[in-house]
Structures are given as structure tokens and as C-alpha cells.
A and B are shown apart, each in its own frame.
Chain A
Amino acid sequence: MEILDKLINVALIAATLRTTAPILLVALGGSFTTKAGIFNIGLEGQMLVGAFFAVLGSIWTGSALAGVACGVAAALVFALVFAVLVVSFKANEVVVGLALNILAGGMTISLMKAIFGTRGSIVGHGIVGLPKVQLPGARDLLGSWAPLISGFTPLVYAAFIAVPLLVVCYNRTRLGLYIRVVGEKPEAAEALGISITRVRYIASLLCGLLAGLAGAHLSLGYITMFTENMSSGRGFMAVAILIFSNGDPLKVLAGCLLFGFADAFSLRLQTFGYPSYLVLTVPYVVALIALFALSYRARPRVIAETLVTMRKLLSVDKNTEPGGKNPQ
């Protein structure tokens, strides 16, 4: 029990919120494209360039805000390229997404080499991280629970505030409604003179915006550095969450919290001296289990149908069933 107490406490929950933020941001971005009917596998790449250029911008300008802006701009460029290829030229979205992911990985590495002459990571060089926001009065109000709402970087707040905003967007705004219609029934949108192309471009760019913020949070949030392949599969996790949530903001939040918790939990386990290779698999194992649990509901039917098919295959040769005599 003592170990559990040490493991699960306010600090762990606060860490969960911190680790949830980047995947939540990128998944909410992907929610726009998912709802608009685009399968966006390029989230990973957008996030990665966001992280890289945020660091670059921060070094060049000496300002964290300008760094974030740089990261977002880079992710938007990637989103725009994605949209041009997928929406305008109707290229296969999986191929384009994968290509852009590979491009992002290779580009950040070679730019790192060209600019900083190093491989692996960028540390120091005057990177300015995002400030932590101490909410006034939080400590008076919540005492030792204050870290749950106070002391995060602005992007963590942005991520969680974005959830209700997206709910309102999809239910009460024209843009949100059109994004849903374009994804669910494009021919309805077309018949009403809603431009599918325009709506999908907007959705792709909104996605780039949030993916860029997610990347900036990775490299300027709690650790101010950039490492090779820094997004480490979070974009793909977001894709998995999006498939199962169908892009609904609240379900996305639930999925991201689960993954964030597993991430934070694994970080904590590391400090207890468990082998890091094993510990680092925790979030992915949790994600696999979650996906399995979610799809389990559909399983009984699959099994039932398989059995029926098997029985029929076996009965091909003995055509007459015992009870199958014609009543005539």
C-alpha cells in the first residue's frame, strides 16, 4: 500500500494532465479532419515539425511565444501540403500522410545537422521555454490540491479549454455543422452549395494549428529541448483514439486522459528503478488493451458468424440434415 500511495497522488494526477496535453491537442486537431471525412495519418509529422520549429523560433527570437508561432506556422505548412494533395488532387490520404511523416522525420534530422552540427538532440543554445502559469488564489482555495489546476504552461490550459469549445463548435456553429456534414454526407453538402473543398481545407488547417501547438508543447513545455523523433508515436496514438472516438471531443478527451495517465504512470515507475525499457512500454500496452476492450463489444457477433460459416462449410457434403426432411 505504501508503494501505491507513493505512486498515486496529487503529483501523479498533475503529471497526467501535463502528459495528456500534447496528445489531446493533436487529437483534437485530428478531430476536425476526422469529422470532415479525412483520415489524417499525418498528425505525427505535423507535430514533429511543430516541435522542431518551435525550438528554432525560440532560439532565434529569444521569445517562447514567437517559438510557438514558428512551430504552428511550420505545422500549418505541412497541413496545407497535405490538404493540397489530398483535397485538391485527391491523392490517397494514407500515402500522403505517411510520406509527410517520413519527410518530417528526415527533415528535422538533417536541418538539425545543418544548423547545429549535431545529431540526436538540441539542448541549450538559449532555448526559451514556456512560462508556468500560477493561478492566483489556487493555493488558498485548494491547499495541497492546488497543483491540479495551477502551475501548468499555457498550452495545457489551452488543450483542456479546447474540448468544450469543440463541442460547441460542432453543435452550435455553422462551420462545425458543415464539417460534420461534409464528413458524413458529402453529397448533401454539395446539393446545398456548401463547398466540400473549402470546408476540408479549413478542417485541415485547424488540424495543423492544433498539431503545431502540440509540437510546441513537447519541445518548449516541460522540457526545453528537441530530440530526434520527439513525438514518439503520439500522433499515431491520436489517430487510434480518433478512429475509436469518431472524433467526438469528449470521447477524444477520455481516450487522451487514459493515454496521458499511462504515460505519467510510466514516468513515475522509472523513478522507482524499474527497468526503463519495460516501463516505457506501459502507455502502448495500455493503448492496446483499451483498443481491444473497445472492440470487444463487436466480438460475439464475429465469433457467431464464424461458427455459422464453419458449420455450413462442414455440411456441404452431407446435404440432408436430420431434421430437414420435407414435411410434405
Chain B
Amino acid sequence: MSNTPGSPTLHSNAAMAVELTGITKRFGAFVANDGIDLAVHRGEIHAIIGENGAGKTTLMNILFGLLQPDEGSIRLNGEEIVIADPSVAIKAGLGMVHQHFKLVPSLSVADNVFLGMEIRRHGLIDHAAQITRTRDLSKRFGLQVDPTERVGLLSVGIEQRIEILKVLVRGARTIILDEPTAVLTPQESRELFQTLRSFVAEGMTVIFISHHLEEVMEVSDTVTVLRNGKKVATRPTAELSKDELVHMMVGREVSFDRRPRASLHGDVVLEVKDLWARDDRLLPALRDASFTVRSGEVVGIAGVAGNGQTELAEVLSGLRPASHGGAWLKGQNLTALSPAAIRQAGLAHVPGDRMVRGVDRNASIAANTLMGRQHRAPWSRGGMLNWNAINQNAETLIKSFDIRARGPSDAVKRLSGGNIQKVVLAREFTNGADFLLIDQPTRGVDIGAQEAIHDEIMRQRAAGRAILLISVQLDELAALADRILVMFNGRIMGEVAGDDADEERIGMMMAGVAAPEFAAETAS
């Protein structure tokens, strides 16, 4: 859409930090990038937005030399270049902060920053000089870190700062960030945006990948939208509204608004009281959690990943012992039961890591929808599986949950993330359980499937199920939950009613600050 009125002219090459022309990348029969043109002005923050699987990361990996394009060419600052591997990209002044950090836990911050370009004296690494330079750089750009600390002990937010420092110390002038805010609290995101603006103020260029509309609207100068591997448009952010952006991303209107609901809270189904649990290192990960979930109610758990949500889900599903306290499902103490007994007592569990605990990726859809009830009629008779009944049931579920697959015998690994999640939902939601424990239902799922999954959760609510919804996505919780509990460092910091979910307040609690007026509210 280079001919859109008001868009920057694409011919003044020298003003372009990055120009990609006709980039195509295929993985087998799948076209990840299809003739994409992208022009990024020097000194701007350029957002690349699109659903999961739209080809954002592939495109950036091509720019950084991690992948080679099948077709197309790359120009940096007006000069054509072949980026055979990342070292070429780094030499040309590009730097990339990956979605998954690549830091070495046993090394210090400074060692990690200078890894690959160590400062040496007499052939030995000069740790002191590295520490000083790291400190200088972190002060200059407001990236607070202690250069001497071991990376393994630091939080994700700080790890990201180290990754950015790594890029800066290599003299990058154009910085690519792949979904930088996915792991941050709203406050940390805001700090990151300030840092990005300070880069641009120094004449650097920032390209950042996101699928969060709000932050793209907030921080970027220009937006490029990708959909299904193709470029939809490049437009100045100021000219766009959020609705237009969504429309371009998904090709149709999607509502992010709060789902309409009737109030139908019934009896308490789950009661959690003074619950404590330890993580794999035996440190307390869940501290003194107490709450209830009623039938016909969706209770949301918000928090930055790794603040005890996983442990809570594992204790409730019997996968982790509680160290103190208990959780009662319709009067039965779950902490004393095995996972199978808990399911019998009325739990359905949509696990956060669906590829590990949700499905057997090599098995068929039919087998995956069978799991957990293989010993019951009509799926088995006299100790033998009744495949007719199993396949018929799978067929029905494929239809009713709109799973896009060829049939019940399709292997789950052939499906997209959203459809795999639908297989898990189809199995768990048809168990007749009264309590649904749903952990990150839309992680890595595209917007279309997200909507379908949200619809399904609301249907379960309307059917009178008690639902505990754990999610790191605030908009998801705001759309679905009746009440939102915010977790930080294993504790429930407070509670917010779903219909006045205020991102600011939730954000504060996610960062560990319990607002005083708020504590008063919960107490009452």
C-alpha cells in the first residue's frame, strides 16, 4: 500500500533504515511470507502487527539473517545486502531482541552483555572493564541493571533489559524487538516504551512486533499489518483507529468488548482456603490463597507469568502437593486426592501447556477426545475399546466445537494451535464436570479461534459451571471474568470486579503494589 495518500514516499532511499522488497519464504507447502514489501524510516518506531502465524517473526528472522528468503531482496540504508547469518546483520548495525531470551544463567549480567565480544587484556577477559561499560550504558538509556549479578537470579523484565544492552553494546542502530511486552507488567511495558523513545531521540530506529493493539497505538509512529503471510498495509499510526487496525488484522470485525451476561451465581462449588504450595525448587510459590468460585461464575486470575498461577492450577488438579491449607470441590478436599479422583469429583482441566499436558500430539483427535474416559461406557465395553462409539463421539465434537480437521483420525500435531486447543476444550467441557479450571486458553491462538474459545467459555458459564480462568492477558479476563483476582509472588494481591477492570489498578497489583483503598474494598 505504498500508494496510500499520506504515506511516506518510498524512493528517498537514504532515509530508509530498512527496505525489504518482495520477500517470500516457504516452509514446504506453507507460505510464511508472500511477497512482502516493508520500508522503515530512520528514526521511527515501526510496529509490525498481525495475528499469530501471520508471518511477523519469520519476516524479522529473515531480516536478521536467521532465515534465508526464497525470493526478494534487502536494503539497509539504501544499500543492497545479503544477510547470510546474524553476524552480517550485526555488522550492518541491526540488533534483535528475541521473544525467548538467549542468556546464560550461570554468567553475570556483564558477561552476558559482552558475550561474543569480550573485552580482553593480556589475552584474559577483563571483567572489571566489562562491568564498568555495562553500568555506563545502562545509565545512559535508563535500563536499570546490576552488572555483577548472575542472570539466573533475575526476573524476566530485567532479562529483557540485558538483551537490549547486548544489542546496544554491539553498536546497533536499528533494533528489532519480537513481542517485547508479552512477558512484562503494564508498568514495565511503559518503561520499555520510554527506553524505545530515547533510542529514537538519539536517531536510532526501532522495529517492534506485537499483536497487542493498545501498545501499538500508544508507542508506534508507523504500523505495518500482516495477515496470512501477506502485507495488508503500512500506515502512520496517527491516521488509524483501533477498529481499523483490528479490521486489517483479521479481515473482519471482532469484538473485544465485555461479553454480555446474566447474573446467575449459584452455590459455592470451589472453596480454596489458606492454600500454600512449593515450586520445583521447594520454595514457596503459592502463599496463603483463599477464594471461592460459585456456579455460573467466571473467576479470573491475573498476573505476570510465574507468580504462582501455574502452581495454583497444579495443586487444584492434583499434580502438585499442597504444603498447607486445602481446596474443597463440592465438599471434597482436593489436596488429598489423586488427579483421577479429583476429576471424578468434578474437575475439568484445560492445562496451560497444552502440548505437554493437554494432548498427545502424535495421537489422533479421536484418541485425544477419549483420554480420561476410556474405561467408561459407551467408549469401552468389557475391557475393550469401542472405536465406533469413540469415532462417532469425536465426529460430533469436531462439528460442535468447529475443529478444522479432516476427520477423527487426523493426528493432533497436524492441527494449528487454536484447533488443538479446541480439541482439549471439546474433551474437557463434555465431561459433565461442575468445575472448570482453564489455564491460558488462548495462548498462541489466533484471534478467530480466540473468539470461538471465549464463546464456548461463556456458554459453559451460562450452563451453570463454576469457572476459574487463569490468564496473563488482561483483555481476555476483562471480557470474560465476573471477578478478577490478581496474583503477585504467590499471593493474591486483591480483587477487582470484572465490569470495572481498570488496567492501571490491576497493573499495580501485578507489580506487587496493593493499593490501600483497594485492600479496604476487598476486606469489606
**Nearest-neighbor residue (CB-CB) of A328 within chain B:** B268
Give B513 Cβ to nearest chain A Cβ, in Å.
31
A174-B86 in contact (CB<8A): no
In the bound complex, how far is the Cα of B100 from the Cα of A238, in angstroms? 35
Q: For B393, list chain A residues within 8 Å (CB).
A: none
* Among A188, A194, A313, A320, residue most surrounded by chain B Cβ atoms (within 10 Å): A188
A194-B328 in contact (CB<8A): no
A316-B337 in contact (CB<8A): yes
The B411-463 residues at the A interface (CB cut-off 8 A) are: none
State whether the Cβ of B333 lies closer than 8 Å to any Cβ in chain A: yes
Q: For B100, list chain A residues within 8 Å (CB).
A: 187
A326-B105 in contact (CB<8A): no
A326-B124 in contact (CB<8A): no
State whether the Cβ of A99 lies closer than 8 Å to any Cβ in chain B: no
Q: For B118, list chain A residues within 8 Å (CB).
A: 174, 177
Q: How many residues of B are counted as interface, with CB atoms below 8 angstroms from the partner's CB atoms?
A: 41
State whether the Cβ of A2 lies closer than 8 Å to any Cβ in chain B: no
Known: A184-B105, A308-B321. A324 touches B336 (CB 8 A): yes
State whether the Cβ of A119 lies closer than 8 Å to any Cβ in chain B: no
State whether the Cβ of A180 lies closer than 8 Å to any Cβ in chain B: yes
Q: For A305, list chain B residues within 8 Å (CB).
A: 321
B341-A315 in contact (CB<8A): yes
**Nearest-neighbor residue (CB-CB) of B120 within chain A:** A174
**Nearest-neighbor residue (CB-CB) of B111 within chain A:** A177
State whether the Cβ of A124 lies closer than 8 Å to any Cβ in chain B: no
Mask, B333-351, CB within 8 Å of A = 1, is: 1001110110011000000
Give A73 Cβ to nearest chain B Cβ, in Å.
27
The B107-160 residues at the A interface (CB cut-off 8 A) are: 107, 111, 115-116, 118, 120, 123-125, 127
B332-A319 in contact (CB<8A): yes
The A143-202 residues at the B interface (CB cut-off 8 A) are: 168, 171-174, 177, 180-181, 184-185, 187-188, 190-194
State whether the Cβ of A137 lies closer than 8 Å to any Cβ in chain B: no
State whether the Cβ of B265 lies closer than 8 Å to any Cβ in chain A: no
Give A172 Cβ to nearest chain B Cβ, in Å.
4
In the bound complex, how far is the Cα of B100 from the Cα of A190, in angstroms? 13
Q: How many residues of A are counted as interface, with CB atoms below 8 angstroms from the partner's CB atoms?
A: 34
Partner among B105, B116, B282 whose Cβ is within 8 Å of the Cβ of A193: B116
State whether the Cβ of A323 lies closer than 8 Å to any Cβ in chain B: yes
State whether the Cβ of B87 lies closer than 8 Å to any Cβ in chain A: yes
State whether the Cβ of A301 lies closer than 8 Å to any Cβ in chain B: yes
B125-A177 in contact (CB<8A): yes
Q: For B326, list chain A residues within 8 Å (CB).
A: 323-324
**Nearest-neighbor residue (CB-CB) of B278 within chain A:** A301
Q: For A187, list chain B residues within 8 Å (CB).
A: 100, 102
Q: For A90, list chain B residues within 8 Å (CB).
A: none
* Among A184, A187, A324, residue most surrounded by chain B Cβ atoms (within 10 Å): A324
Partner among B85, B107, B127 whose Cβ is within 8 Å of the Cβ of A181: B107
State whether the Cβ of A321 lies closer than 8 Å to any Cβ in chain B: yes
Mask, B263-283, CB within 8 Å of A = 1, is: 000011001010000000010
Q: For B336, list chain A residues within 8 Å (CB).
A: 311-312, 315, 321, 324
Partner among B86, B106, B321 whose Cβ is within 8 Å of the Cβ of A191: B86
Mask, A294-328, CB within 8 Å of B = 1, is: 00000001000100100111011001110111111
Give B295 Cβ to nearest chain A Cβ, in Å.
12
Q: For A174, list chain B residues within 8 Å (CB).
A: 118, 120, 125
Known: A315-B336, A321-B336. A173 touches B102 (CB 8 A): no
**Nearest-neighbor residue (CB-CB) of B318 within chain A:** A312
A173-B105 in contact (CB<8A): no
The A34-56 residues at the B interface (CB cut-off 8 A) are: none
B106-A315 in contact (CB<8A): no
A319-B345 in contact (CB<8A): yes
In the bound complex, how far is the Cα of B295 from the Cα of A328, in angstroms? 14
A180-B345 in contact (CB<8A): no
Q: For A181, list chain B residues within 8 Å (CB).
A: 104, 107, 115
A185-B103 in contact (CB<8A): yes
Q: For A193, list chain B residues within 8 Å (CB).
A: 85-87, 90, 116
**Nearest-neighbor residue (CB-CB) of A185 within chain B:** B104
State whether the Cβ of B331 lies closer than 8 Å to any Cβ in chain A: yes
A188-B331 in contact (CB<8A): no
A316-B333 in contact (CB<8A): no
Q: For B344, list chain A residues within 8 Å (CB).
A: 319
State whether the Cβ of B330 lies closer than 8 Å to any Cβ in chain A: yes
A172-B125 in contact (CB<8A): yes
Known: A173-B124, A319-B332, A323-B333. A180 touches B341 (CB 8 A): no
B328-A185 in contact (CB<8A): no
**Nearest-neighbor residue (CB-CB) of B98 within chain A:** A191
In the bound complex, how far is the Cα of B273 from the Cα of A172, in angstroms? 52
**Nearest-neighbor residue (CB-CB) of A308 within chain B:** B321
Q: For B87, list chain A residues within 8 Å (CB).
A: 193
In the bound complex, how far is the Cα of B113 from the Cα of A177, in angstroms? 13
Give A70 Cβ to nearest chain B Cβ, in Å.
31
Partner among B86, B104, B318, B333 whose Cβ is within 8 Å of the Cβ of A188: B104
Can you spell out 19 A-B residue pairs with CB atoms less than 8 angstroms apart? A173-B124, A174-B120, A177-B111, A180-B106, A180-B107, A181-B104, A188-B103, A190-B102, A191-B98, A191-B102, A193-B90, A193-B116, A305-B321, A312-B318, A312-B341, A319-B332, A321-B336, A326-B330, A327-B271
Q: Which 4 A-B pairs have the closest CB atoms?
A: A324-B333, A192-B116, A326-B331, A193-B87
> Chain A interface (Cβ within 8 Å of chain B)?
168, 171-174, 177, 180-181, 184-185, 187-188, 190-194, 301, 305, 308, 311-313, 315-316, 319-321, 323-328
Contacts A188-B102, A320-B331 known; list 7 others, CB within 8 Å. A188-B104, A192-B86, A315-B336, A315-B338, A319-B344, A320-B333, A326-B328
